[in-house]
Amino acid sequence: MKLLGLSAGRKMGNSEILLKEALMAAEATGVEAEILRLHDLKIKPCTGCTSCVQGKNGLIFGGSGQCVIKNDDMPLFNEKLWESDGIIISMPVFIFQPPGYLKVLIDRCGPSHDQAFVMEAKKVAGGKSGADPRIFKSRVAGFLSVGGAPHFDWASLALPLMNTFTFPMEIKVVDMHQVMGSAIPGQVSLNDSALARARKLGQNVANAMGKPKEQVKYMGDDPGTCPVCHCNAMLVGRESMVECAICGIKGELEQKDGKITVSFSEEQQAISRLTLEGKRRHFYEIADVQREFDSRKAELPAKLEKYKSYKPAWK
């Protein structure tokens, strides 16, 4: 069993120290581990060209969906990812959320890494698909994040947004943990409780690797407000409706004895963005958008002239 450690921070920084602590604990259970540092990789940003979907080698034409961007390390990253049975991502928090270079990697994964998209595109392509079949390999993940501020409100979006990497590939997150109060490089090595928690996370991920998906359970300290992604990031509407910012499922806000809870129906949980059904629905939503555009695309050249001719400049 192979466990990939993805370091999204500086070499020997706090997030990498936590990652190494987790990987050492995982290796003690018998799994093989390897580290990739995003700082060592050259990953160019996604341009939004949609070639992975509808280009010559696009998924809806039975192609592999491989990105047309060349001369970077995305193929190397993909190979390490496809080989893995589990992944632990560890990152610093700069301003509330994951650093930009992790977000660049997430954007590059795109439809070619989305299980539901690959499955539905194969139907559109008449049963043909050149996508790497290893995308459907069962994997689990753990998240580690470290922030310099002493209070959690300065890292509120960090762990929730890490789900944007795992959910398209149906990677089950089994544990996640946020460490605060480590602002100086190496400072977290003085925090015995943070190191112990990282070891526990490494063991949890290692013990979940290779298990059937239905047997994999979430083992984090906080079960979270959402029963699907276990996050607490909620969008509150004008009435009693609450929506999980990560899953997209809607629940009812309740207050009893001074305690606020949110209840989510089984029907809503079944269409979470983290489920195949939720992502399948999104595939057809995008298809509807494409059809609407196709019906009016003849108007586009004339519409664009307005913006081509506009060239503002300082006086």
Residues 200-219: b if buried by 16+ CB within 10 A, e if exposed:
bbbbbbbbbbeeeeeebebb
Q: Say which amino acid occupies 23.
A: L
Per-residue model confidence (pLDDT) at position 237: 75
Are 147 and 191 contacting, i.e. CB atoms less than 8 angstroms apart? no
Per-residue model confidence (pLDDT) at position 275: 95
Cα(72)–Cα(66) distance, integer angstroms: 13
Per-residue model confidence (pLDDT) at position 306: 93
Residues 1-40: b if buried by 16+ CB within 10 A, e if exposed:
eebbbbbbbeeebbbbbbbbbbbebbeeeebebebbebee
Which pair of tokens denotes residue 12? 């020997």
- The residues, any chain, with a CB within 8 Å of residue 107's CB and separated by 6 or more, are 45, 46
- CA-nearest of 245, 261, 265 to 253 is 261
- CA-nearest of 205, 74, 47, 51 to 139 is 205
Which pair of tokens denotes residue 302? 């004339």
Per-residue model confidence (pLDDT) at position 258: 82
Q: Which residue has the tokens 């149906």?
A: 170
Per-residue model confidence (pLDDT) at position 254: 85
The length of the chain is 315
Which pair of tokens denotes residue 105? 């990697």
pTM: 0.94
pLDDT tens for the chain, 315 residues: list them: 999 999 999 999 999 999 999 999 999 999 999 999 999 999 999 999 999 999 999 999 999 999 999 999 999 999 999 999 999 999 999 988 999 999 999 999 989 999 999 999 999 999 999 999 999 999 999 999 999 999 998 999 999 999 999 999 999 999 999 999 999 999 999 999 999 999 999 999 999 999 998 999 999 999 999 999 999 999 987 666 899 999 999 999 888 888 888 999 999 999 999 999 999 999 999 999 999 999 999 999 999 999 999 999 998
Per-residue model confidence (pLDDT) at position 37: 97
N- to C-terminal Cα distance for the chain? Answer: 63
CA angle 135, 71, 129 (to 5 degrees): 30
Cα(209)–Cα(158) distance, integer angstroms: 24
Per-residue model confidence (pLDDT) at position 260: 83
Residues 95-121: b if buried by 16+ CB within 10 A, e if exposed:
eebbbebbbebbebbbbbbbbbbbbbb
Per-residue model confidence (pLDDT) at position 238: 65
Are 220 and 209 contacting, i.e. CB atoms less than 8 angstroms apart? no
Per-residue model confidence (pLDDT) at position 147: 95
